[in-house]
Amino acid sequence: MQQGRGVERRTVLKAAGASLAVTGLGATATACGGGSGSGDGTVTIRYAWWGAEDRARRINKTIDLFEKKYPKIRVKTDFQPYTDFWKKFNTQASGGNPPDVFQNAIGFLRKYDAKNVLLDLKEQVKAGNLRMEGFRAGLDTFGEIDGKLLGVPVGSNSMALVIDKPVYARAGVTPETGWTWDDFDEAMARVRDRTGRAGDSGMYGVMYLYDLYLRQNGKAFFTEDGLGFTEADLTRWWTKAEKGVRSGLFADPKKVAQIKPKSALSAELAGSEFTWDNFTVRYTSEGRSEYGLAPIPTTDGKRTGQYLGSLMLSASRRTQHPVEVAKFIDFMVHDPEVAKIMGYDRGVPATTAQYEAYRPTDAVNKAIAAYEESLVQAGVLEPITPHPNGADICEAAFLRIGEELGLGKRSVPDAVEQFFNESKTALSS
């Protein structure tokens, strides 16, 4: 069930639910691995990703460039919103008909490797069809799992505290590198008391922030085999979040839920929000204020626990066109013109060639680049926490149960017990 470039969004969304048609494709497409060929030697590969209309427009422009350079390779495209993407992908993968190449993330690598969905791209690197040199800040190994290359980064980002700069100025708060969680709590109180706004949007369900906090304390959210923290650890974290809401340090979760999909920060319910640095672009488009990036608070004034995250491109193990897929990935992560088209839509470009090809001129994207450069220069970046098979289910549970806790539907003990029960099931399957 593929959509050509230029298809309208309503057609794409309609196609996402066409499970019967997907099933019908299975018998024929599985035999050819999802790709196709023609008598003149032209092959067609399928490329799927999640994102909005703007990302689709940008990606389609990059595909036009690719097809000009490789006229014997045609690319069929398909995109969905994040949740719909994975629903459809699961259906396709279960039916033996996944896309030849697709957007991926660290939380899904072990899951789909265990299901024999992902192609180990190391053979294509050895054959010279895919280059893994020239990546920034160690990103070349980001998609390696158990000695296999299962994903190639297209961009990078890192967790940050996005702040409403005028609000923080009125509160007299200036976050500095090395500030502690005690400093952060004090800052939240000053924002509340001096501006009448909650200091932060809340910390119930931000799994990746909790991961940083755990890493600062010698633990981690995940190990290679499961969870890297205890029920007592999570009880302390969620109890603090609950107290923060009651005292007005964090935004009222009920109000936050009412204004979705708009963020609490851009809706002026809170003065800051922990999220990925490249999301600053979102707040600028949603809100009326000026937003900036502040450093992650620390436990000891030094270690932030941070790492560079990344969207990746992965390939299907069932593809009949591994060479063409490898050339496609290589083009998308190395070609300078691609960077000029994509900008920071998927994060700061992962390779040096693309990073240097696109130098933003607007204040928001310049700030994102400066923030990541500061992390590299400060030497605070660490290897990413391993994500075991089932990590994506744990992440979804953490967000959902955290929201239920914030809305008063669960107590802290009940929420902690529910999360560990669901995670145990997910990680043992």
The answer to whether domain 9-127+317-343 and domain 159-306+383-428 are alike in fold is: yes
Query: What does the pLDDT look like over 310-345, one tens digit per residue?
Result: 899 999 999 999 999 999 999 999 999 999 999 988
Query: What does the pLDDT look like over 39-82, one tens digit per residue?
Result: 688 999 999 999 878 889 999 999 999 999 999 999 999 999 88
Q: Two tokens at 240?
A: 């603090």
pLDDT at 54: 85
Reading phi first (left if > 0) and then psi (alpha if -120 to 50, else beta), residue 138 is in left
- Statement: residue 10 has pLDDT above 50: no
Ordered by start, the domain boundaries in the chain are 9-127+317-343, 159-306+383-428
Least confident of 216-225, 281-290, 346-355, 416-425: 281-290
| CA–CA gap between residue 55 and residue 52 (Å, rounded) | 6
- Statement: residue 274 has pLDDT above 90: yes
Q: Which CATH architecture has domain 9-127+317-343?
A: 3-Layer(aba) Sandwich (3.40)
- Average pLDDT of span 181-191: 98
What pTM value is reported for the model? 0.81
Instruction: Assign a CATH topology to domain 159-306+383-428.
Output: D-Maltodextrin-Binding Protein; domain 2 (3.40.190)
DSSP 106-151: GGGHHHHHHTT-B--THHHHHTTSS---SBSTTGGGTTEETTEE--
| Residue position matching structure tokens 């990606």 | 59
- Statement: residue 23 has pLDDT above 70: no
- Statement: residue 9 has pLDDT above 70: no
User: HEC states along 151-207?
Assistant: CEECEEECEEEEEEHHHHHHHCCCCCCCCEHHHHHHHHHHHHHHHCCECECCCCCCH
| CA–CA gap between residue 44 and residue 88 (Å, rounded) | 20
pLDDT at 275: 93
Q: Two tokens at 63?
A: 């595909």
